[in-house]
Amino acid sequence: MVMSVLRRLGQTLFVLFGISVLVFLVFFATPGADPTARIAGRNASPETMARVRVEYGFDRPLPVQYARMMEKLFVTRDLTSYVNRGQKVVPEILEAAPVTVSLVSGAALIWVVLSVAMGVTAAALRGGWVDRGLMMLGLVGISIPVFWLGQVVNLVTQSRYHDSWLFSWVPGLGYVPLTEDPLGWFRALALPWLTLAVLFVGIYSRVLRADLVAVQSEDFMRTARAKGLSPMRVLLVHGLRTSMITFVSLFGLDFAQLVGGGALLTEVVFGLQGVGRLTYQALSNLDLPLIMATVMYSAVFVVIANAVVDMLYLFLDPRVRDGR
């Protein structure tokens, strides 16, 4: 038990280390991409370039640069932005995190509820037109670029039909903190939630339906029917409960990636200052400290989510509990 926890911890640290090295290399060692040139500006004089190089420590060996950055990020926590001099990056992330968490949690709730309903309905009516219709709807959801959907939603609710009774409640783009105004928070996020959820409703309903159909041919489903249980009970209590195991692992990863910045396109379109948008800004300014910080934040989330999924596995699957 202790050994497996230790191994798990080791793997986690290894993945975090790997991500930090990967990101570091992308920005500091990609052939032709010199951070000095980026900071000094195009056509900077050689003297400026040299000054910047020394000032930012780009003249030192890569491992030293890497170690110094990690130390500032995790130990002294005083890493500052290259672009807005003096701005500390850790508080900046802590400010953006609630926005992203609000956005992603609401969307997740919507997509889980909707996709379970759609997946179960489709599987129960397998082969019929309802099944085909729902699954085609899911495919459509998967095929819509989220940023474009967001634009169309804005067009309809902010401009064209904003004055109709249907959308007059929609506030302007932006975020309202939950603690300040719960109703305003809800109104500001309702449409971003729905927009972000569309893709995942499509994915999850299709995955769930496929799992449920696959599980139908299992012996235990036949046993359940032979017991005289109703088709709904067989599907929900025996089928859905078993399919939930894959569903949960997918959910853990997707949720973590979104909280870790994967929702940036939605954040950009709806003007929400979340982690994804912050990361994107850091990237476009090539603000290396902020990039490192946001990517590490995102990686920590993914890794935590993996651990939570593993724990949920223990809860959901007794076979894993016994290590079989």
Partner 1 sequence: MTAQTVTGASSSSSAPRPAGPWRRAGRRLARDRAAMVALAVLLAVTAACLMAPFYARDVAHTDPFTSNVAGAVMIDGRSVDIMQPNDNPLHLGLSPIGPTWRASADLLGADSQGRDLAARLLYGGRTSLLISFCAAALCIVLAAVVGIVAGYVGGIVDAVLSRIMDIMWAVPVYLFAISLSIVTVSQGLKLGPITIGSDNLLIPICIIALVYVPYAARPVRGRVMSLRRAEFVTAARALGVPGYRIVLRDILPNVTGTLVVLAPLMMALAMMAESALSFLSIGVQAPGASWGTIIQDGEGLIYTRPMVAIAPGLAIVIVVLALNVLGDGMRDALDVRDSGRERG
Partner 2 sequence: MLLAVRDLTVALPIGGRLVPIVESVSFTLGAREILGIVGESGSGKSVTSLAIMGLIDVPGARISGSVRFRGRELVGLAPRAYRALRGREIAMIFQDPMTAFTPVYTVGRQIDEQIRAHQKISRSDARARTVRLLGDMGVPDPERVAGRYPHQLSGGLRQRAMIAMALSCNPALLIADEPTTALDVTVQAQILDLLRGLRRDYGSSVLLITHDMGVVAETCDRTLVLYSGLVAERGPTGALFAQPGHPYTAALLDSIPPLHGPRPARLPSIPGSPPAPAGRPAGCPFAPRCAYVHDSCAVRPPLVACGEQDVACVLPAEGRPLPPRFVAEMSA
Among partner 1, partner 2, none, what binds residue 32 when CB lies within 5 to 8 Å by partner kind?
Answer: partner 1
55 binds partner 2 (CB under 8 A): no
Binding mask 84-123 for partner 2 (x = CB under 8 A): ----------------------------------------
Q: Which is nearer to partner 2, 181 or 218 (CB)?
A: 218
Binding mask 234-273 for partner 2 (x = CB under 8 A): ---xx--xx--x----------------------------
Q: Other C-beta atoms within 10 Å of 216: how many?
A: 16
229 binds partner 2 (CB under 8 A): yes
């986690």: which residue's tokens? 12
The phi, psi pair for 88, rounded to 5°, reads -80, 140
Binding mask 204-223 for partner 2 (x = CB under 8 A): --------------xxx-xx
Q: Which helix (H) or strand (E) holds 70?
A: helix 62-70
* Residue of 163, 172, 226, 284 interacting with partner 2 (CB under 8 A): 226
Asked if 226 contacts 264 with a C-beta cutoff of 8 angstroms, the reply is no
Residue 18, both tokens: 């790997």
Among partner 2, partner 1, none, what binds residue 222 when CB lies within 5 to 8 Å by partner kind?
Answer: partner 2
CB neighbour class for 307 (10 Å; exposed up to 12, middle 13-18, buried from 19)? middle
Scanning 75-83, 181-189, 274-282, 313-321 for contacts with partner 2 by CB under 8 A, the matching segment is 313-321
Q: How far is the CB of 227 from partner 1 (least distance, A)?
A: 29
Q: Which is nearer to partner 2, 180 or 322 (CB)?
A: 322
Mutual orientation of helices 241-257 and 182-216 as an angle, nearest 10°? 140
276 CB-near residues (< 8 Å, 6+ apart): 100, 261, 262, 263, 264, 265, 266, 267, 268
**Residues near partner 1 (CB under 8 A):** 14-15, 18-19, 22-23, 26-27, 30-34, 37-38, 136, 139-140, 142-149, 151-152, 154-155, 158-159, 199-200, 203, 207, 253-254, 257-258, 260-262, 264-265, 268, 276, 279-280, 283-284, 286, 291, 295, 298-299, 302-303, 306
Residues in the chain: 324
* Residue of 224, 290, 293, 305 interacting with partner 2 (CB under 8 A): 224
CA distance 68 to 250: 36
- Measured CA to CA in angstroms, residue 67 lies from 16, 182, 256, 306 at distances of 14, 43, 27, 26
Scanning 150-158, 176-184, 258-266, 310-318 for contacts with partner 2 by CB under 8 A, the matching segment is 310-318
CB neighbour class for 91 (10 Å; exposed up to 12, middle 13-18, buried from 19)? exposed
Among partner 2, partner 1, none, what binds residue 254 when CB lies within 5 to 8 Å by partner kind?
Answer: partner 1
278 CB-near residues (< 8 Å, 6+ apart): 92, 93, 96, 261, 290, 294
Q: How far is the CB of 294 from partner 1 (least distance, A)?
A: 8
Which positions touch partner 2 (CB under 8 A)?
127, 218-220, 222-231, 233, 237-238, 241-242, 245, 316-319, 322, 324
